[in-house]
Structure 1
């Protein structure tokens, strides 16, 4: 396992400060760096058994400098997997929801500028029915602790994972390696990631 990234913010900062610094860090990556990071991420994912075996896979559409899983999404569709995207604009009690995505799905930008499927709430799928979820990250550590945007949407949506541990779905956090921290403070309601995959390495929770 690699040593702590000296370019990342330190884990001793307040969460708000960390989010600001880490988001700025990933937004500073050039288009060429983003493209190369997405290619490296793709190579680190597509040969994994959990990806190959999963039939129902949730992704996200990159925003705000996030590492881009779109090449993996297209690969999953070509393999006949059922793919899903998060919907944040119609949250139920601030809980992330998911809807099916195909190449024919219409997407629209929500108020945060994030593209999501244009679909009715009745078409949302249960988070527990997914096999694999690619989770966006602001910051992370090698133990699987995740620093998100601070709304708690994913923690609420996958709260059942705290009770059932490493059961379905498997949560794969994906990020630029520069977003890695020495440690992320964990709250009782936080849901840990099973694995974090970056453009440079794979960090599996022990």
Structure 2
């Protein structure tokens, strides 16, 4: 039986929300170990990440590790005028934060901190599930599909890399025309790669 996108979404969200806090903490540390092996990392200075919510893999250790490596980190903010789009703002330990309409923490909007997507080196994307071809299932809002669509067409600009728990892998996902498959996904146990 082929599950619908919504059924997969519900099942995987439930699975990752059942992970114990110790498991989540260790997964965040193991993620650094895998992420640090990425060939793209040495040439990347401007890296977009996100703050974990809803059982997503804990990105805080990775963010702190990137700061320690002298990298600049950027966090998504819901675009105030362009519905369904994201802005990426420079993020530091002292950045003033606010809750967005989804009750997710994001930097307070400050135009001087915005980094255009084309000037980012890597965009680490959240996801609910992924399959063995790099297909990604998000929360359904399409924010990252819109953000990554120009990269998908031209392979120019910020390269997308998915971050996930190992339990978020499924055999195959039903895909839609707007879905942007990812060239790499990093989990605590390995780097999945679909590019030569």
TM-score normalised by L of structure 1: 0.88
Q: Secondary structure at the match of 2:80?
A: strand
Distance 2:81 2:11 in 1: 27
Number of the residue aligned with 2:171: 182
Q: Note the C-alpha offset of 1:189.
A: 1.7
Give the direction of change, closer, same or farther, for the CA distance of 1:83–1:91 in structure 2 (3 Å limit).
farther
Is 1:85 the counterpart of 2:57 in the alignment?
A: no
Cα drift, residue 184 of structure 1: 1.6
Provide, for residues 149-176 of structure 1, a one-character-per-residue CA deviation record: whole Å limited to 9, x for no partner: 00111111121022113x3311110100
1:31 pairs with 2:16: no
Q: 2: distance between equivalents of 1:65 and 1:140?
A: 15
- Output the CA distance in 2 between the equivalents of 1:27 and 1:205: 28
Deviation at 1:35, TM superposition (A): 0.7
1:112 equivalent in structure 2: 102
Question: Where does 1:1-206 land on structure 2 (aligned, <5 Å)?
Answer: 12-88=2-78, 90=80, 92-121=82-111, 123-165=113-155, 167-206=156-195
| Higher alpha-carbon deviation: 89-98 or 152-161 | 89-98
Report if the CA contact (8 A) 2:151-2:159 is conserved: no
The root-mean-square deviation of aligned C-alpha atoms, in Å, is: 1.7
SS in 2 for 1:159: helix
> In 2 relative to 1, CA 64–189 (structure 1 residues): closer, same or farther, beyond 3 Å?
same
Measure the CA separation in 1 of the matches of 2:111 and 2:13.
30
Extract unaligned runs of 5+ from structure 2: none
In structure 2, what is the Cα distance between the partners aligned to 1:31 and 1:22?
17
SS at match of 1:193: coil
CA drift at 1:122: 6.2
Taking structure 2 as the reference length, the TM-score comes to: 0.92
